Amino acid sequence: MKPDTRLKCDRYISHKPFTSLASSSKIRYTTGYTIIEVLSVVTLISLFSAIAVPAWNGFVGRQQLRAGANRVYWAMRTAQSEAKRQKIAVQASFRENDNQVQWAVHLATIPPDKLSDSAWESLPSGVLIDDKVKNDKGKLETTLIKVDPVDNSVRNAGTVYRALFNYKGCPIYESTDECTQVHPRARGRLGLKHKNLENAKRCVIVSTLIGVVRIGQEHTKPQNDLYCY
């Protein structure tokens, strides 16, 4: 490039106008949001949250309650199977510890208080034993036998619920009972509820003298004065 041509180019570049500050501000202003638009979005998000959060909490609570009932059922069936396998009385024990329901499967000769902490497993958070408030028929939905955790003896004021099975898998009252000696109180149910749910309940029932175990749910009409069956 010739010298005079380069000078002309330099003068052209140095005098090229830049975008003004006013025009830049105008661009930023026209691409923003008004306060009314922002408030509208916040209001919509709040409305959706008010609808979605309770629905989600209810869904999670029902899933936890269902999982808790399944674990209680599995604990009872495990105790029953182990009793038949080992030819000795085995029990499934259930307790509440710091608002957490725990369960353990162990020999009937070992009191619950003698079990190590590792022997106890927990139900999902929020699942509780339904034994505090009677239904409109004056009955508690939990009817399993209560035992004293210190010596495993039957106590109305006990703090551990028990489902006990003999070497043939029959539910029994005393660890030495035969199937022909089954006491009516050997059967029963453990009612479960969730702290975030009002009407959804589950129960695990030892329903027959030969040891049939099943899961029930809450109904609108009672059966034998109980709503969970």
Nearest to 75 by CA among 134, 128, 122: 122
CATH code for the domain of 186: 3.55.40.10
User: Based on the structure, what is the number of domains in the chain?
Assistant: 1
Q: What is the pLDDT of residue 184?
A: 85
Q: Which two tokens stand for residue 65?
A: 């309650």
Percent of residues, the chain, with pLDDT higher than 90 = 69
In a domain, 55, yes or no: yes
Q: Please state the rounded mean pLDDT for residues 182-208.
A: 93
Segment 34-51, tens digit of pLDDT: 888 677 667 666 665 566
CB 203 within 8 A of CB 192: yes
Strand order in the sheet with 121-122: 121-122, 101-107, 90-96, 160-165, 145-147
- Fill in the amino acid letter for 205: I
In a domain, 21, yes or no: no
Q: Nearest-5° angle of CA 117, CA 123, CA 125?
A: 110
Q: Which residues contact 68 (CB under 8 A, 6 or more apart)?
A: 101, 123, 124, 127, 192, 202
pTM summary value: 0.78
Q: Which residues contact 181 (CB under 8 A, 6 or more apart)?
A: 172
In a domain, 175, yes or no: yes
In a domain, 160, yes or no: yes
Residue 123 structural domain: 42-228
In a domain, 34, yes or no: no
In a domain, 51, yes or no: yes
In a domain, 164, yes or no: yes
Return the higher-pLDDT residue of 91 and 2.
Answer: 91
- Helix or strand holding residue 58 (H, E): helix 35-86
Segment 95-106, tens digit of pLDDT: 999 989 999 999
In a domain, 3, yes or no: no
Q: What is the DSSP letter of 154?
A: B
